[in-house]
Chains A and B, each alone.
Chain A
Amino acid sequence: MAHKEVIFGLYSDEQDLLKAIRKAKSSHLDIMDVYTPFPVHGLDPLLDLEESRIHIAGFIYGMIGTLTAFLSMTWITTKDWPVIFGGKPYWSVPAFIPITFELTVLFACVGMVITFYIICGMGPGVTNPTLDDRITDDKFCLAFDKAHVSENDARALFSSTGAEEVNSKTI
């Protein structure tokens, strides 16, 4: 992976961070990423992040689950090994509903969680570079890639918006 020279400012209040982002946008500085200890409301529209489509993936996984459950039960009870239970028809659709529902939920959830970790580049034992240990504690971080934003511009922005610390790191 190509290394990135990152310059980042740490804020201790999310409102200061939001102000800094607005200012960076108005001065056309290309924000690399923003790191926060918790989801900050109002951040997504400021960063022009599109709504996550993970729920669409979930719907598709759910449909796969529905079909898997219903079609397997249909095949098993009518084609592979038909057995009469309690004088009911082989193809007892109402009795298939509970399992069909459960597998729909199971496929949707497992599929979405796996998708989430893959698209975020996360997983058991994965180590992603972090800029500062306090980002998961109480600091809000605004980061610029030095390849796109000059160090002077970044420092000027940080000092005018009240960043507590400005640091550089190669990740």
Chain B
Amino acid sequence: MSSPVSLIREPLITGNKTYHQITEDLISPTEKTPPRSWIFGFMVAVFFLAVFVFCVGWTIYHGIGTWNLNRTIGWGWDITNFVWWVGIGHAGTLISAILLIFRQKWRTGVNRAAEAMTIFAVICAGQFPIIHMGRVWLAIFIFPYPNTRGPLWPNFNSPLMWDVFAISTYFTVSLLFWYTGLVPDFATVRDRAKGFRKKVYNYLSFGWTGSAKHWQRFESLSLVLAGLSTPLVLSVHTIVSFDFATSVIPGWHTTIFPPYFVAGAIFSGFAMVLTLMLVTRKLFKLEDYITIEHIESMNKVILLTGTIVGVAYLTELFIAWYSGYVYEQFAFFNRALGPYWWSYFGMMFCNVVSPQLFWKKSWRRNIWLTFFLSILINIGMWFERFVIIATTLARDYLPSSWSYYSPSWVEIGIFLGSLGLFFTCYLIFSRVAPVVAVAEVKAILKSSGNQYKGQSQHHDDHHEEVHHDHH
């Protein structure tokens, strides 16, 4: 039963939509020639994808000596990018799973695109640990399969091994969850299409009919998948943080890392969702489905998680001082005021100071400010990972091996190229699949459509009636 609708809540669908109008608005972007801005964006994205392929090819051919890593700093932009991309993915699962469990209706406008973002971000993330291995053709060794080398098994006690399982499970589950949600919408596209297009979407829609029993199973499945994805998403970034936290490097060896990483992941992920949604709603004219109310809700999450991240930074500093442990104290002194001071202050400004602007309601509802801050937060969260990884390694136990690191053109090319990979995938997705979940939006129309506001009492009576009949 849908919950009674508060009159205080703003409508989530505006423009007096009917069911048919929703279908038209949301499916038509897949049927029309794309707007010119889409074509331009796609060309830029493919260019950067080519840069990615070239730089990765260069790395594989010449070896990771083409990067500027050295004996002291063995993890640089590669692992920074890995953690950054995985973190971005987390917002998609949060929106699709955790908000489903909390029955937040505003998720319906953005969940499809956010889940797609998760999948593409995890694809980007997965590239980095693999190319970081150097001899990528031996990447299969990370999987525990019976082999002729003993059999020699991977080390199950290693957090890097846990990462393999966490990331591959996360990718598989996100993909299944996303695709299963897409099936009814692909059926809608199928039933409007003709000729070859119909054949393609017939294949993709798996023979969906919309039968009552199928919907019931579908909803049950979605709920259980959401229930499983919730601890899964928390576990993934927890395990990523274990890569650092289980080591013995001061500055990494901290128990605060799991919650701090998870909050940071959701923070950066929501920033990326906002960046994408603000562009998508403009490009495909979805202002009636992704409203200012949606943007404000996401900005509230950004404010909350940004503040959690800020508290975590300060807690780290406090504990370093309070521990009385000189190596820990030095690690944090170095982090803030050492050779990489600029990235620390960049991180503090972008992640802690800038989201505080969202305490003001009118600023939360300002599209340009939101867009600007979402980019700033993405930069800030990249800095955070860089700060944790590079500044900590640069000043290790032996002053004689202290070092400095800045990336080579290959590493910069791989990072910019991974953005190309991400946006190429996203732009293709926005053309072949409805970017807003059509069936889910229809399901909330009567409770969250603007023309139904004020009639909620009537609807409650109706539900009551249904209920009595059943008994």
In the assembly, what is the distance between CA of A95 and CA of B168, in Å? 18
Which residues from B are CB-within-8-Å of A63? Answer: none
A94 to nearest B CB, angstroms? 9
In the assembly, what is the distance between CA of A110 and CA of B469, in Å? 38
In the assembly, what is the distance between CA of A42 and CA of B470, in Å? 9
Which residues from B are CB-within-8-Å of A92? Answer: 157
In the assembly, what is the distance between CA of A81 and CA of B153, in Å? 8
Which residues from A are CB-within-8-Å of B14? Answer: none
Residue A163 is within 8 A (CB to CB) of chain B in the complex = no
Over the window 176-196 of chain B, the binary record of Cβ atoms lying under 8 Å from chain A Cβ atoms (1 yes, 0 no) is 110010011001101110000
> Chain B contact residues (Cβ within 8 angstroms of A): what range?
35 or more
Contact A38 B207, CB 8 Å, known A116-B217, A137-B23: no
Which residues from A are CB-within-8-Å of B235? Answer: 98, 101-102
Residue A113 is within 8 A (CB to CB) of chain B in the complex = yes
Assess the B20–A35 pair: CB atoms within 8 A: no
A-contacting 9-mer, from B66-74, B223-231, B394-402, B417-425: B223-231
Assess the B211–A137 pair: CB atoms within 8 A: no
Which residues from B are CB-within-8-Å of A136? Answer: 184, 187-188, 190-191, 208, 210
Which residues from B are CB-within-8-Å of A119? Answer: 217
Which residues from A are CB-within-8-Å of B138? Answer: none
A86-132 with Cβ < 8 A to chain B: 86, 88, 92, 95-96, 98-99, 101-103, 105-106, 108-110, 112-113, 116-117, 119-130
Residue of A nearest to B444 (CB): A38
Assess the B469–A120 pair: CB atoms within 8 A: no
Assess the A49–B207 pair: CB atoms within 8 A: no
Assess the A43–B224 pair: CB atoms within 8 A: no
Contact A134 B191, CB 8 Å, known A76-B156, A113-B176: yes
Other-chain contact of B23, A42, A113, A128, A138 (Cβ < 8 Å): A138
Other-chain contact of B153, A49, A76, A110, A112 (Cβ < 8 Å): A76
B-contacting 9-mer, from A1-9, A51-59, A144-152, A154-162: A51-59
Which residues from B are CB-within-8-Å of A62? Answer: 228
Which residues from A are CB-within-8-Å of B207? Answer: 121-123, 126-128
Over the window 275-293 of chain B, the binary record of Cβ atoms lying under 8 Å from chain A Cβ atoms (1 yes, 0 no) is 0000000000000000000
Assess the A81–B150 pair: CB atoms within 8 A: yes
Residue B220 is within 8 A (CB to CB) of chain A in the complex = yes
Taking beta carbons and an 8 Å cutoff, which residues of B are in contact with A?
Answer: 1-2, 18-20, 23, 144, 150-153, 155-159, 161-162, 165-166, 168-169, 172-173, 176-177, 180, 183-184, 187-188, 190-192, 202-203, 206-221, 224-225, 228-229, 231-232, 235, 239, 242, 439-440, 442-443, 446, 462-463, 466-467, 469-470
For this complex, 25 residue pairs linking A to B, each with C-beta atoms less than 8 Å apart, are: A15-B462, A35-B211, A37-B19, A38-B440, A38-B443, A39-B215, A39-B216, A43-B215, A58-B228, A76-B156, A98-B159, A99-B156, A109-B176, A109-B177, A110-B172, A112-B224, A113-B221, A116-B180, A120-B213, A122-B214, A123-B207, A124-B203, A124-B206, A133-B191, A133-B192
